[in-house]
Amino acid sequence: MCGITGIFDTREQRPIDRALLERMNQTQFHRGPDEGGIHVEPGVGLAHRRLSIIDLSSGQQPLFNENGSVVVTYNGEIYNFPELTEELKAVGHQFRTHCDTEVIVHAWEQWGEACVKRFRGMFAFAVWDRNLQTLFIARDRLGIKPVYYALRPDGMLTFASELKALMADPDLPRALDPQAVDDYFAYGYVPEPRTIYNAVHKLPPGHTLSIHHGLPVPEPRIYWDVPFHNAGPMSEADAMEGLEERLRDAVRVRMVAEVPLGAFLSGGVDSSAVVAMMAGLSSDPVKTCSIAFSNPAFDESAHAAQVAERFGTSHQVRQVDPDDFGLLDRLAELYDEPYADSSALPTYRVCELAREQVTVALSGDGGDETLAGYRRYRFHVQEERLRSMMPLGLRRPLFGALARLYPKADWAPRMFRAKATFQALARDAVEGYFNNNAIIRDEQRQRLYSPSFRRSLQGYHPVEVLRHHAQRAPTDHPLSLVQYLDMKTYLPGDILTKVDRASMAHALEVRVPILDHPLVEWISGLSPDMKLKGGEGKYIFKKAMEPHLPHDILYRRKQGFAVPLAQWFRGPLKQRLQETILGDRLRDSGIFDMNTLQHLVDAHISGQRDYSAPLWSLFMFEAFLRRNEGLGGGLR
């Protein structure tokens, strides 16, 4: 696992600022502490930080083809590189190393832009072809590995694995994007392709960008999508067998490494299933690690220990300090832009623990999105059944009026929140899903902002992010559609971003077998009833794992990897909360209505309301502003 960065002159072939490229590369030292490399020629510069996993003695980057006309800088793992190597050798390509990186330059020579369709794995890379005068940038299908890029006013394009590398460029415009700010307070992260900065973009998952000297920078091009093609009738027995077989193969190809390898084990279904497959494929005990919490409402360590004992793993547990506030400032440094998933705190700690034993860890990420494990999917399907009984033209005025009349009851169990239900029924499917899952809902976000900031949005609404994907979705089934939306937004923007930054902070490579793209394609073709059946999410997955895992691991209530924010903000973080949310930095940003911020703080501290989620998002936004002071930011 590594870090990549580069500078490309889109207009001509001016000299590249090597000192700038070196500074950009050095900001990503944590991603690849083993080696660094730089290549510069007129009009293009590529740089790399390496974390050695395979072929430790060679494979230094940037890496060239035989005649030096094609060079690559690459972050990731291509698991089918041995098969591709043999295929390319058979048609005359000569290899100097035994690493997966070299496959990319020869695959580019052989198949051009279509090479990405041949790769099985996680990757972000840039290929420079001197003969074609083309820079080709690609990101893996599900977005496991990141790519940021920006076009400067002078025509220089910069790209990197992390935003901090681009921010090392003093000529990069720093204006904040108001729409990205609104996205952040709606979703808790900034969804692709935006970043918090107007001038910087994320390359979306499953996309490539092909750039030529002297031509305008084009829009990224999609090369893969989750198909959701109906696989046709299939018995439960066949589905269970097919799922187990494909998961085992996905785990098998990810266990190849020349460094110590292990797994995260939370005690949930997904990580437990991955460990079960690993145990069956390994002659040695699997190294596993998990985090414990003193608060039993958040602690899953006993379940992890149960799985570890069942498979005889070499298991390590570390209890996280319930007042682990030392990481708060570190998070802003890691994520570079506002990021409000509080589970980043324990994720950082479990990566820290894992790195003490291993250099590569397998995780269970992606199971909830691909196999319908979130409770919100069940609620959405139920609401869609109700929506289908009445056309939107009748529902919107009727339930909209009821929602306005009914008292708000965020404190009540979901089934008793009639106001929220009426609001959902007054919307279409995409609006309803957005409203149910927004960190800060529409009405509260409108009160949150100052009048001048609301004007800067020019009528923009964050639901447009979901609408964009829904219009291109290959399915209209209520369950499959929201799974698709999450795979396009929440999975890369929140889950995979969290794991990438937390793991790379410790030079730890995390591999994600449930997001093996052949497995994802196959699962997407299963009947939705096999994923969510009788209110049971991951139905067929759990059935397939019954021979391997205890019943109470498979069928206990889902906990999640959370921290007790509400208690923190009423206890040990109370004073810091008040100073942060009501301090000068948020006030001076011009974005917020300070009366609303005062209400959020007072109502939460008094126990009148649980505003921990919006307060945390504000807390992390303030940390972002504080870290970026002096960089010339501000709204565009």
Where is the binding site for ATP, in residues? Answer: 291, 363-364
**φ/ψ (deg, to 5) at 208:** -130, 160
Q: How far is CA 457 from CA 194, 437, 450, 453, 591, in A?
A: 15, 21, 11, 7, 11
Binding site members for L-glutamine: 100
DSSP reduced 3-state for 222: strand
Of 495, 475, 499, nearest to 487 by C-alpha is 495
Residue 155 to residue 268: CA distance in whole angstroms: 48
Q: For residue 586, what is the enclosing H or E element? A: helix 584-588
Please choose, from the candidates 144, 30, 26, 125, the residue with its C-alpha nearest in 3D space to the C-alpha of residue 504: 30
**Nearest alpha carbon to residue 53 among 74, 27, 39:** 74
**Could you give phi then psi for residue 48, rounded to 5 degrees?**
-155, 140
Amino acid at 136: F
Active-site entry in 2, 99, 115, 351: 2
Contact of 190 with 180, CB cutoff 8 Å: yes
- Which residue reads 């089918």 in tokens? 80
Dump the DSSP string for 62-87: SEE-TTSSEEEEEEEEETTHHHHHHH
Give first-to-last CA distance, the chain, whole Å: 35
Query: Could you tell me which residues come within 8 angstroms of residue 524 by beta carbon, excluding any fewer than 6 positions away?
Result: 226, 227, 228, 229, 370, 480, 483
Between CA 460 and CA 411 the distance in angstroms is 30
Amino acid at the residue 517: H
What is the rounded distance in angstroms from the CA atom of residue 527 to the CA atom of residue 529? Answer: 5
Structure-block tokens of residue 111: 């198949």
Q: Where are the alpha helices (DSSP H) in 315-462?
A: 328-335, 344-355, 367-371, 375-387, 392-405, 418-425, 429-437, 442-448, 451-456
> Residue 282 in contact with residue 555, Cβ under 8 Å?
no
DSSP string, 459-481: T--THHHHHHHHHH-S---HHHH
Interatomic CA distance for residues 66 and 378, integer angstroms: 55
DSSP H or E stretch at residue 585: helix 584-588
Whether the CB-CB separation of 202 and 147 falls below 8 Å is answered with: yes
Radius of gyration for the chain, computed over Cα atoms and rounded to the nearest angstrom: 24
Residue 182's SS3 state is helix
Task: Count CA atoms within 13 Å of residue 512 on its CB side.
Answer: 28
Beta bridge partners of 201: 149, 194
User: Would you call 289 a catalytic residue per the annotation?
Assistant: no
As annotated, the binding site includes 100, 291, 363-364
Q: Give the whole-angstrom CA distance, residue 406 versus residue 393.
A: 21
* 149: helix, strand or coil: strand
The two counts, helices (H) then strands (E), for the chain are: 30, 19
Active site residues: 2
